[in-house]
Amino acid sequence: MDYSRELLLSLSAQAPVHALVYEAKGVFPRTHDAVTWEVLPYRRPSPLRSVFTNLPDVAYRFRSQAYLGRAIELASNPGAMVDGLLDGIVVDFISMAWLVPPLRKALDARGLVTPVVMVTHNHEGALRQEAARGLAFPKNILMSIDARKAAALEARANAAADGITTIISEDARAFARMCATPSLVLHPGYGGPVMKRDRHAAQIPRTATIIGNRMAVHKIAVLEHALGALSDKGTDTKVQIDIAGGGNFTRLSRQYPNYRFHGFVDDISAHLAEARIGLVPDDLGGGFKMRVLTLAMHRVPILGLNSAMRGTTFTPGTHYIGVDSLAEMAAILPRIIDDCDQLDAIQQAAFDHCRANFSWPDRGERLASFFDELAGRPCMERKPACAASTPS
């Protein structure tokens, strides 16, 4: 996950990081002077077994007594690590949230006050329930049950942790209503390619694009809703619309022949260079859409649902063109794609906003300071090692 990797590397600029991860076929940790990778063997359990546990599937598949034991050993005996000192512990994403309560309990039993921070990516309970509502029977029932498990795990982990980080402020406020654990909002930074030269809409083909991977069931549902709404208004006959990102589009490409389905693209910059406008049509799911930054830093003006853009810090009418429904998006796209002056103004404002506000180095500095606050120590006393728990 890009957010996990970049946050870890950003934190490593403040203190060396010992990363405890599972092995993954074909995935090799990036060599980095300030990161020590410890890789544990992994064997995925049968997904059917998760039905009979209190964990959502995404967490059940990573729960391991061996992992818990090693995490407790490292936290209790930091001398086992290369630097021999421990500043704090990061537990990353809902998939590893099961670790927080038993780890905190083990540390307390040993009289250790090392702060444990739960790094969240979404308000998982709400996100998954919303996704379930967008699915057909019986997938909606299964997803709803899994969502309730995710919400319960989220609540347990956040309450047991010493601190929580969120990607958007809306999630921080939601968690504050659930528990009193201190929180810190860490918007993502942007470390991808940047279109530095000026770009003018009038010189770009009259093409709209929807980018993003569609591997998850609810993400396919989002795309299907968008294509249906655009086709209902006949927008696909008035504007060329491209779809780019990983996923199986066999059924959708037959159902919607007017769209160009590119699948995964190796060079996203080349793809976006041919797009006059980017659509963010997500009517399901919350959280921060990283592709918003990708569009903005490639100077592609954005037409997006206001609900989907919530939490990005982008202002409608200034940094993007906002609409309240997919029907409204479909209705205005043929007109707005020809308003080149507005598109140029929107993309320039979004580009400037991103350059000023989405820096990865700043995120590591703020997370390190958060650990200092939780431990009640001045920043100059920071020890030279942190431990991170993340799935590979």
92: how many CB neighbours lie within 10 A of its CB? 26
In tens, the pLDDT along 231-289 reads 999 999 999 999 999 999 999 999 999 999 999 999 999 999 999 999 999 998 778 89
Per-residue tokens: 369: 């300071």
142: how many CB neighbours lie within 10 A of its CB? 15
Strand segments, DSSP code E, in 140-235 are 163-166, 183-185, 207-211
User: CB-based burial of residue 340 (10 Å sphere; 0-12 exposed, 13-18 middle, 19+ buried)?
Assistant: middle
Q: How far apart are CA 86 and CA 244, in angstroms?
A: 43
Strands in 116-119's sheet, in edge-to-edge order, are: 35-40, 17-22, 386-389, 89-92, 116-119, 163-166, 183-185
Q: What is the mean pLDDT of residues 125-154?
A: 91
In tens, the pLDDT along 199-225 reads 999 999 999 999 999 988 888 989 999
- The reported pTM is 0.89
Q: For the chain, first and last CA: distance in Å?
A: 9
Collect all residues with Cβ–Cβ distance below 8 Å to 337 and sequence separation of at least 6. 206, 208, 239, 276, 277, 343
Instruction: Say how far residue 75 (Cα) sits from the centre of its chain.
Output: 27
pLDDT at 380: 46
Which runs of consecutive H residues, i.e. helices, occur in 13-61?
57-60
Q: What is the mean pLDDT of residues 103-124?
A: 95
In tens, the pLDDT along 302-322 reads 999 999 999 999 999 999 999
Q: What are residue 38's DSSP bridge partners?
A: 20
Percent of the chain with pLDDT over 70: 94
| CB-CB contact of 320 with 346 (8 Å) | yes
The backbone region for 245, taken as left when phi is positive above 0, alpha when psi lies in -120 to 50, beta otherwise, is: left
pLDDT at 216: 80
Rg (CA), the chain: 22
Q: How far apart are CA 128 and CA 329, in angstroms?
A: 25
pLDDT at 391: 52
Q: How far apart are CA 85 and CA 366, in angstroms?
A: 20
Q: Worst-scoring range by mean pLDDT, 32-46, 113-127, 162-176, 329-343?
A: 32-46
Mean pLDDT over the full length of the chain = 91
pLDDT classification of 389: cutoffs 50, 70, 90 = low
* Helix, coil or strand: residue 89: strand
| CB-CB contact of 7 with 362 (8 Å) | no
pLDDT at 382: 46
In tens, the pLDDT along 56-75 reads 999 999 999 999 999 999 99
pLDDT at 84: 52
Q: What are residue 118's DSSP bridge partners?
A: 91, 164
pLDDT classification of 387: cutoffs 50, 70, 90 = low
Q: Is the pLDDT of residue 370 over 70?
A: yes
What would be the CATH architecture of the domain defined by 201-357? 3-Layer(aba) Sandwich (3.40)
Q: What is the mean pLDDT of residues 165-186?
A: 96
Q: Is the pLDDT of residue 109 over 50?
A: yes
Q: How far apart are CA 154 and CA 54, in angstroms?
A: 12
Phi/psi of residue 96, nearest 5 degrees: -110, 5
| CB-CB contact of 307 with 364 (8 Å) | no
In tens, the pLDDT along 73-102 reads 999 887 655 455 678 999 999 999 999 999
Q: How far apart are CA 261 and CA 259, in angstroms?
A: 6
Q: How far apart are CA 42 and CA 392, in angstroms?
A: 10
pLDDT at 271: 97
pLDDT at 294: 97
Q: Please indicate whether the domains covering 2-189+359-389 and 201-357 agree at the CATH topology level.
A: yes
Q: What is the mean pLDDT of residues 146-152?
A: 96
- Domain parsing of the chain, residue ranges: 2-189+359-389, 201-357
In tens, the pLDDT along 7-50 reads 999 999 998 899 999 998 877 777 777 898 999 999 988 878 88
- State the residue for tokens 């063997």: 41
263, containing H or E segment: strand 260-263
363: how many CB neighbours lie within 10 A of its CB? 22
Q: How far apart are CA 78 and CA 361, in angstroms?
A: 26
Establish how many alpha carbons lie within 13 A of residue 273's alpha carbon, considering only the half-sphere containing its beta carbon.
Answer: 10
- State the residue for tokens 């990102």: 245
Under CATH, domain 2-189+359-389 is a member of which superfamily?
Answer: Glycogen Phosphorylase B; (3.40.50.2000)
Q: How far apart are CA 363 and CA 168, in angstroms?
A: 13
